[in-house]
Homo-oligomer: A and B are copies of this chain.
């Protein structure tokens, strides 16, 4: 179905180029995707979800530690040379393509935000949605606007600040997560087949 072999320069792909490299006619491409942006988005979706098919937020230990490792994982993905160019190409397209933006929102961003939000809620955080935004916002601010790199140790301090901003009750050491769902492990939200 998705014959998106390893493309190289995502910033400047063309319908004709993809067609040629995929050994497929332009007609067929247009039958499935309206734009190169849509192709890139599907490729991104494939890469982001292929193994797991879901967003995973660790929910085994202490809240702060879980958030920290999630932040670290997010940063790792954003700066991974394999993913970064593709991600940037898609976010660039999103700025001018409303339909693509909606797809991106529904299938990548919301699942991510929801997963964090859920973890925060079960960590006894008030207004977990706001906290999730507070957590992710600065990360993407740095990444999208290229204000500065992610220095080591920042993730930890950042998580501390976010928790200070929104923590109200003390977190119970035994998580409610394990009761709410069969798996006592991580908070997962599937984004496959939406």
Interface residues of A (CB under 8 A from B): 11, 88-89, 91-96, 101, 104-105, 109-110, 113, 130, 133-134, 136-142, 144-147, 157-158, 161-162, 164-166
Contacts and interface: CB of A to CB of B under 8 A. Distances in A.
Main DSSP-derived SS at the A contact region = helix
Given A142-B133, A165-B134, A147 B95 contact: no
Which A-B residue pairs are the 9 nearest by beta carbons? A137-B137, A165-B165, A137-B138, A92-B95, A137-B141, A88-B95, A11-B96, A161-B165, A92-B92
A130 B101 contact: no
Contacts of A96: 11, 88-89, 92
- Copies of the chain in the assembly: 2
Contact of A140 (B11, B95, B104, B141): B141
Contacts of A139: 137
Contact of A136 (B11, B88, B141): B141
Contacts of A145: 91, 94, 104-105, 109, 140
Contacts of A136: 137-138, 141
A91 B89 CA distance: 12
A147 B104 CA distance: 9
A95 to B, nearest CB: 4
Contacts of A89: 95-96
A146 B101 contact: yes
A154 B138 CA distance: 17
Contacts of A95: 11, 88-89, 91-92, 144
Which one of A89, A96, A105, A145 has the highest number of Cβ atoms from chain B below 10 Å of its Cβ?
A: A145
Contacts of A165: 134, 161-162, 164-165
A101 B149 CA distance: 13
Nearest to A9: B96
